[in-house]
Structures are given as C-alpha cells and as structure tokens.
Amino acid sequence: MKKILGLVASLTVISAVCAAVLAYVDSLTRDPIAQMLVKKTQEAAKAVMPDGVESIEEANAGEARYFVGKSASGETLGYAVKGKDPGGYGGDVVLMVGFAADKKTVVRYRTLEAAETPGLGMKLNTPEFAGQFSGKAGDSLRVKKDGGEIDAITSATITSRAVCGAIADACAKLK
C-alpha cells in the first residue's frame, strides 16, 4: 500500500510540474502567436486587393470584420474578407478573399488555414486552380460536377467545393 501511495504522489508531483511548465510556455507564446495571426491576416488582405489599392482600412459590419481598399484619391477599389468552409477534406478551409468594389466579383484569394492532403488538396494554392475564380461572382461558385463552372482539382473535389464554399461565405459576410 505504501508503494502505491508513493507512486501516486510521484505521478501527482510530475503532473503538477508539467502542467506548470505548459502554463508558463502558453503565457509566453500566446501574445506573439496572436500578433503573428493579425499580421498574416493583414498581409493576406493586401495581397488579395485589386490593383491600384494604396491604403487599406479595417471595418466591421455586425460581427463580420473586413478590409476596405482605397485608391490614393480615396475611392473604394475593393474589399477583403475572411471566408470559412468546414467541409474541407482535412477540416476547415479558411481563405482571405478579395472582391472588387461591387462586393461580388472575386479578385483573388489567399489561404489562411487548410489541412488538406499534401500533393492533392493543397493544390488549392496553385495559379491554375485559384485563377479560375478571378472575375466571377463569389456568391454563385460551384464545381462543374455540381453544375458550376469551376474545374475541380483532380482527386480533390471535396477541397474544391470547400474553396467555393469559403468564397461564398466571404461574399455573404460582405453583403
């Protein structure tokens, strides 16, 4: 019985020390990780804006946060908003989507989060696939298999559908 109590006490102390170390590391890394995420989001917003954007302002509409791209003269040229679709093969697909001033026409997108299959699903970042979305209405995108005009990534139709869904989500947030 003494041996068992000794083992329980040892494991309790070890667990407490591990928990304390993890809590300390979390406290050290929480803010830098949050700052990196903000920076990554802002960089993605700049990257998806239409040509000619000189400045970007952050805006909110209800719970939706988006970015407004303006020319040097102050004219609104486009928008960038985060879209998410939970139907990706590896989970959520989160994109930063750029729209023209009409809030509907897709300019381009950048991937913020995706855990798709390497070599297949991650082709969502290739110019051949991503380029198909430019100039199209973001609220009506579907892959050809579903009656739309987007060529799905070979062997990655689920990922292709998730990209369409994330762009539709971004478009809906902007309206």
Q: What is the pTM (predicted TM-score) of this model?
A: 0.83
Rounded Cα distance, 72 and 123, in Å: 35
pLDDT given for residue 156 in this prediction: 86
So what's the pLDDT on residue 175?
Answer: 81
CB neighbour burial string for 107-118, b if at least 16 within 10 angstroms, e if fewer: bbbbbbbbebee
pLDDT tens digits for 29-86? 999 998 998 899 899 999 999 999 999 999 887 778 899 999 999 999 999 999 999 9
Average pLDDT, the chain: 92
Quick one: pLDDT at residue 37? 86
Distance in angstroms (rounded) separating the CA atoms of residues 58 and 146: 35
CB 93 within 8 A of CB 102: no
Task: State percent of the chain over pLDDT 90.
Answer: 74
- 120-139 pLDDT tens trace: 888 899 999 999 999 999 99
Mean pLDDT of 148-174: 93
Select from 146, 71, 133 the least CA-distant residue to 104.
Answer: 133
Strands (E), the chain: 55-61, 64-70, 76-88, 91-100, 106-113
Average pLDDT of the residues in 96-104: 95
Nearest-angstrom CA–CA distance, 57 and 48: 14
Task: Give the largest Cα separation in the chain, rounded.
Answer: 81
Rounded CA-CA distance 69/58 in Å is: 9
CB contact at 8 A, 173 and 83: yes
